[in-house]
Structure 1
Amino acid sequence: MMADLSGLPDIDFISVDAEKITNDIISVYEGLADRTLYPGDPIRLFLTALAQLIIQQRVLINETGKQNLLRYANGDNLDHLGAGSNVTRLESAASRSTQQFVLSTVLTTTVVIPAGTRVGPQAGGTVFFETIDTLEISPGSLSGMVEIICTTPGESGNGYLPGQINVLIDPIPYIQNVSNVTTSSGGTDRESDDAYRERIHIAPESFSTAGPEGAYEYFAMSASPLIVDVSVRETSPGVVEIRPLLKDGGLPGQEILDLVLETCSDRKVRPLTDNVQAFVPEQVPYDLNVTYWIGKSNSSMVATIQSNVEQAIKNYKLWQCSKQGRDIDPSELTTRVKNAGAKRVMVTAPIYQSVERYQVAKLNTENITYGGLEDD
């Protein structure tokens, strides 16, 4: 993986120090006019107003310059930077699942479920799925399975558990019931700037045809905008194991794993000697047991601090599960809670635990206790 863009120093192409710019303008005028401009002087007020316009122009110049840099670019500007590396932004994708169709009885003829047959989670609902391919249930068989895709791109079709997509919208003779056998997943909105920026950053890794780790990371992340982190390792000679992680620490379903495998197994991507496999990241469970106290000097702000602490803990949990190989670190939790306003923090769980690159932390139990006020 290439260097983290966030580690680069902040830069400005031109100074935007308001006080210095204003003083320079006034000093130049005083030198040319050979007179002193005191506060309240109409000319000084005019030059101060003029300085504000110049300052705003300098801010715009800075922002325009930064839009040419990968770390700062966003929106259409980022798309143009991506075009230079032949990396296009991923558009919205529809959720997918595997649907089972069950006959009312075994027949002696083939039952055909045409491609485009719609099913849904409820009658009269607004979310529909349709079969991608034509399904044929052979004579003597009672059921068959086919992949389905949501008719509306985006996240609206995600998260339907097995058995919840159970309404046949387009009636077909002899079909008794339908149900999804996998949790629907893979639906996502248009790729975010941050995810797109990361793919542009690692795109040079894909230029190699020797199958480096970075190339597999790039192509795996290109399979779906939902994927925010990828681990790649060689488990044995010629066997490449890829484990994608979704945004907010989500684990990929079979549909996402299939997309990753399909993308990374393409003849233009995979060296002929590699056997590519896709798996869910291994989970490392941890418990959260925290007690915190607030200083008496902040007694009037207890409610606010408690709210800040709750948010800090929520952010910690998201931080902990949003990247593979991120060690379970209680010191990070302590720092965040203290920065939220707590006077003292006692963390009895988790304890520090190393996490391998192909693993991700998973919260098991949670117990947060407010210990009360303490003397400062």
Structure 2
Amino acid sequence: MSDLHRPRSREQVVQRMLLALSSGTVLDPVNFAPTNYIPGDPLRTLLEIAGEGVADIERLVWALGEGGYLETAQGSYLDELVESHYLLSRQGSTFARGQVRFYAAAQGGMTLPAGMIVGTAYGLKYVTTAEAAVEAGGSADVPIHAESPGTAYNVPAGTITQIHTPLPGLSVANLPGWLLEAGADEESDASLRRRASLRWASLGGGATRAAYEYWALTASPAVDRVAVLDQHPRGQGTADVVIWGTGGIGADVVREVNDSIQQRRPVTADIAVYAATERVVPVSIELYAPLGDRASIEAQVMAGLSALQRELGIGGTLYQAAVVEVAMLPAGVLDARVGMTDLKLGRAEAATLAPTISWRGTP
């Protein structure tokens, strides 16, 4: 689309008007000398207003043109396109849901009301959704619901340790496997385009690799990565659908995706659906930015690593060069040293990056 039409800016339109007026091809050049059109002049102001109107129309034409194609449509234009052509809608954000374990001291038991607030040391909060009785010196598992939607609440085990509605002698922790349903961010344009491009494969007879991928991605917004192992992993006629999402995949999501695929698979196909095996990858980064804002740089690097983790597919390869590129991107970074080598994941593995950032030199 950009090769066919490039919308002009207001300045470009105004300059073209000035050129036309001064050329003598439109009006008498004596009455419209270009030196009269200085900023603040009434006639120049009128040209600026007209130029903005023309530029706005050209931007609209460009947006309408891009909005007609899956590869270029963005935002609300993409929403309208996939709804009318692919019968799809953008998946919204969802809340993380899981359970934590409360521990009572030996002095006495207690009854915990629903609505207690627990959280992490860095400010993420969760609300308990059921009452529970904890015996003296004992423990109880209580379901919790994230305060807000999004992948940020899919935290690792051992990080929910704060009780914001404290009771004497009570402590809390989230154990491995605590996450029952991962939270999800609103579906991005890239993810929506991908699902739409896979839509056609699901309409034919039988089932292709693309069809299984589409069914898995559509069954739950928590799923953002799918690998289809179709080389008879468990014997002739078998295929595995491995799923993963940012922060992990809960058991409820696996059941939801499995139910969706089992209803659609060919009768003769033996399909297994399961979550990828999480592989925690330590990534040490030493930055040199003598004049940069360390807090801002560190936030940008962490955001870049999160994006890199999402883009790394199940069974993919994490390249050292990609991590270096993320570390060097923030303004002010002059050098970055990454303590890792290229890493090839197993065919059913998904990477979770565990970065540690240090600094070389004094601020």
Q: Give the TM-score category using the shorter length.
A: 0.5 to 0.7
**Aligned to 1:282, which of 277, 301, 320?**
277
Q: Distance in 2 between matches of 1:153 and 1:345?
A: 34
Matches within 5 A, 1:182-201: 183-185=179-181, 191=187, 193-201=189-197
**Aligned to 1:319, which of 307, 329, 351?**
307
Letter in structure 2 aligned against 1:242: V
Matches within 5 A, 1:193-212: 193-212=189-208
**Aligned to 2:209, which of 213, 216, 224?**
213
Residue of structure 1 in register with 2:15 after alignment: 23
Matches within 5 A, 1:247-326: 249-266=246-263, 269-294=264-289, 299=290, 301-302=291-292, 304=293, 306-322=294-310, 323-324=312-313, 325-326=315-316
Offset at residue 260 of structure 1 (A):
0.9
Residues 327-372 of structure 1: CA deviation (Å, up to 9, x unaligned):
222212222222323222222x2111122453222335x4422110
Q: Distance in 2 between matches of 1:315 and 1:160?
A: 17
Q: Taking structure 1 as reference, are residues 190 and 371 closer, same or farther at Cα in structure 2, changes over 3 Å only?
A: closer
**Aligned to 1:346, which of 332, 337, 349?**
337
Matches within 5 A, 1:35-114: 35=29, 36-41=32-37, 43-70=43-70, 71-75=72-76, 78-90=79-91
Residues 7-33 of structure 1: CA deviation (Å, up to 9, x unaligned):
xx8566343144442233233343121
Coordinate RMSD, CA, aligned: 3.9
Offset at residue 208 of structure 1 (A):
2.6
Gaps of 5+ in 2: 100-110, 117-126, 132-142, 161-176
Residue of structure 2 in register with 1:372 after alignment: 361
Alignment of 1:331 onto 2:321: yes
Letter in structure 2 aligned against 1:281: A
Letter in structure 1 aligned against 2:27: A
Letter in structure 1 aligned against 2:14: T
> What is the number of equivalent residue pairs in this alignment?
299
> Secondary structure in 1 aligned to 2:317?
coil
Residues 214-241 of structure 1: CA deviation (Å, up to 9, x unaligned):
1000000111112111111121422111
Residue of structure 2 in register with 1:222 after alignment: 218
Alignment of 1:238 onto 2:237: yes
Q: Distance in 2 between matches of 1:61 and 1:12?
A: 11
Q: Is the 8 A contact 2:68 2:81 kept in 1?
A: no
Offset at residue 122 of structure 1 (A):
3.7
Residue of structure 1 in register with 2:350 after alignment: 360
Q: Is the 8 A contact 1:160 1:184 kept in 2?
A: no
Q: Taking structure 1 as reference, are residues 122 and 237 closer, same or farther at Cα in structure 2, changes over 3 Å only?
A: farther
Offset at residue 186 of structure 1 (A):
5.1
Q: Distance in 2 between matches of 1:226 and 1:27?
A: 56
Q: Distance in 2 between matches of 1:363 and 1:192?
A: 21
Residues 309-333 of structure 1: CA deviation (Å, up to 9, x unaligned):
3124313431343232332222122
TM-score (norm 1): 0.66
TM-score (norm 2): 0.68
Letter in structure 1 aligned against 2:20: V
Gaps of 5+ in 1: 1-8, 99-119, 131-147, 165-180
